Homo-oligomer: A and B are copies of this chain.
């Protein structure tokens, strides 16, 4: 907060980015055990610190959740910000948003996973949920534009299509693993191909 008046501009005392490392471990445990089932002592054990040490860096358990959720929400919002208002046919913009979402989801997998499990028990969670819903609404509008332009089939309910598209992308957190057998690019391409043309061979 208040840098010492003289020199020392950028080199902290002991370890540099301990909060970043801390958060990585914490989020991993939150996902494994579930946020509510994770005790501060679980986190202390997993990080190799004591409870007190964690409290020295953050205000509490909910603060840790808040930091993690912000990270996920910010990354997702950025995708929409740069793609949804772009040019091109609606269906192409839609594809770009989906591809961007998949990329964010893969790059920030643990954080987005945590975000998708939040149920709104506390104010922190409700805020994150509201920002997710905003994302949802904007993507929904994009789907409707694509239908209106005749670029997406009109025989399906647009709201159902939006939800299913979301389900497709978000399901990644349930099974995609960075060290698994599928490369991120292949998964992204397969997902987009599935969403656009389905499983059946084109005749």
Contact = CB atoms under 8 A, between A and B. Distances in A.
16 contacts: A34-B119, A91-B200, A150-B201, A154-B201, A155-B193, A156-B193, A159-B181, A160-B187, A163-B171, A164-B171, A167-B168, A167-B170, A167-B175, A171-B171, A194-B198, A196-B200
B121 A200 contact: no
B166 A171 contact: yes
B196 A198 contact: yes
Nearest to A197: B198
A69 B199 CA distance: 31
Contacts of A175: 163, 166-167
B194 A197 contact: no
A117 B118 CA distance: 11
A57 interface: no
Number of contact residues on A: which range applies? 35 or more
A58 to B, nearest CB: 20
A63 interface: no
Copies of the protein in its oligomer: 2
Contacts of A27: none
A181 to B, nearest CB: 8
A2 to B, nearest CB: 38
A198 B153 CA distance: 9
A36 interface: yes
Given A159-B181, A166-B175, 17 more contacts: A33-B119, A36-B36, A152-B199, A153-B202, A154-B201, A156-B194, A164-B168, A164-B171, A167-B168, A167-B175, A168-B171, A170-B174, A195-B198, A196-B200, A197-B198, A197-B200, A202-B202
B36 A194 contact: no
Contacts of A164: 168, 171, 190-191, 194
